């Protein structure tokens, strides 16, 4: 059993066979370096049947899409990228792949189409490319897909899947060292109050009701309840919000990540014996009760 928190790292990756450069493979993982070793046979366990085919090894990672809010969302993106000719996330008029066998240019175009699709556009997904030729193909944009996000060209050996989460560290330290309040509703925020051991569905639902998600503005470090910020928006799930203190834009997925990590940090040792479906049911019940 575990409380949901945005993963530190989870990516969908595109492999290219070095001896057969027209051969590609799409997968997902929370540990890209270990996963590549599995695909290349350096580790006995793991890998995939397609990457074990004679003459296809070794493989190299040419592109990753990351910053997914959950493992499930990464798997959904992976499945859509594996089957671009069928997925409902790419409209029929925008499709560039008519069959499962797609070229590098088509695969890169599909990545752009999926990131900007309604199901993924609010996740603030990021792209890293580790190959100069692939980066050139991305920039060439053969299928003229509108994509205005920055893409990073780097070296795979320098990929760090355990990057420091500065927002979370700042939020935790601020809550430990200062008396903080919500800059929207002005109520005091005491997130480090004593957390009781939770052993039943009733206790879990009751505690969630008095344990609101809290986040901070990464421009000024002002704090707020996530629910207060959400109520001030026109969209159910916004892409970005404006901080009421500094008026600067905040990426919604980024502040949600901070808030879920803080809640997990506080509750992980106190929620005992509850399965994830039970937690989800409690959360849904609570939301239903609070809906006007």
Question: What pTM did the predictor assign?
Answer: 0.83
pLDDT band (50, 70, 90) for residue 120: very high
E-strand spans in the chain? 11-17, 24-29, 59-66, 126-129, 152-153, 180-181, 188-189, 214-216, 223-225, 240-242, 249-251
Q: What is the CATH number of domain 166-289?
A: 3.30.40.10
Instruction: Give alpha helix (H) positions in 124-209.
Output: 132-140, 166-177, 201-209
Q: Give the C-alpha separation, 36 to 133, whole Å.
A: 20
Q: Pick from 81, 65, 74, 80: which is nearest to 6 by CA?
A: 74
Q: What is the pLDDT of residues 197-221, one digit of tens each?
A: 677 767 766 766 667 789 999 999 8
pLDDT of residue 146 exceeding 80, the answer is yes
Q: Which residue has the higher pLDDT, 104 or 235?
A: 104
Domain with CATH 3.30.40.10 in the chain: 166-289
């Amino acid at each position: 059993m575990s409380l949901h928190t945005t993963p530190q790292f989870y990516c969908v990756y595109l492999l290219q066979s070095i001896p057969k450069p027209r051969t590609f493979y799409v997968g997902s993982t929370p540990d890209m370096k270990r996963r590549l070793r599995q695909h290349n046979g350096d580790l006995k366990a793991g890998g995939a049947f397609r990457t074990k085919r004679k003459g296809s090894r070794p493989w190299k990672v040419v592109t990753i899409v990351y910053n997914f809010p959950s493992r499930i969302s990464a798997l959904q993106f992976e499945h859509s990228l594996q089957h671009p000719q069928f997925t409902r996330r790419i409209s029929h008029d925008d499709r560039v792949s008519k069959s499962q066998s797609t070229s590098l240019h088509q695969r890169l175009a599909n990545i752009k189409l999926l990131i900007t699709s309604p199901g993924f556009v609010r996740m603030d997904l990021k792209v890293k490319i580790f190959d100069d030729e692939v980066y050139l193909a991305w920039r060439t944009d053969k299928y003229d897909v509108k994509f205005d996000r920055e893409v990073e060209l780097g070296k795979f050996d320098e990929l760090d899947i355990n990057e420091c989460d500065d927002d979370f560290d700042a939020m935790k330290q601020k809550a430990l060292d200062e008396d903080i309040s919500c800059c929207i509703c002005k109520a005091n925020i005491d997130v480090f109050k004593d957390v009781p051991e939770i052993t039943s569905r009733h206790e879990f639902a009751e505690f969630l009701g008095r344990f609101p998600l809290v986040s901070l503005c990464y421009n000024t470090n002002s704090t707020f309840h996530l629910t207060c910020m959400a109520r001030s928006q026109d969209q159910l799930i916004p892409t970005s919000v404006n901080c009421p203190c500094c008026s600067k834009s905040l990426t919604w997925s980024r502040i949600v990540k901070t808030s879920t990590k803080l809640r997990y940090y506080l509750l992980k040792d106190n929620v005992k014996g509850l399965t994830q479906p039970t937690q989800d049911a409690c959360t849904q019940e609570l939301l239903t009760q609070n809906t006007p």
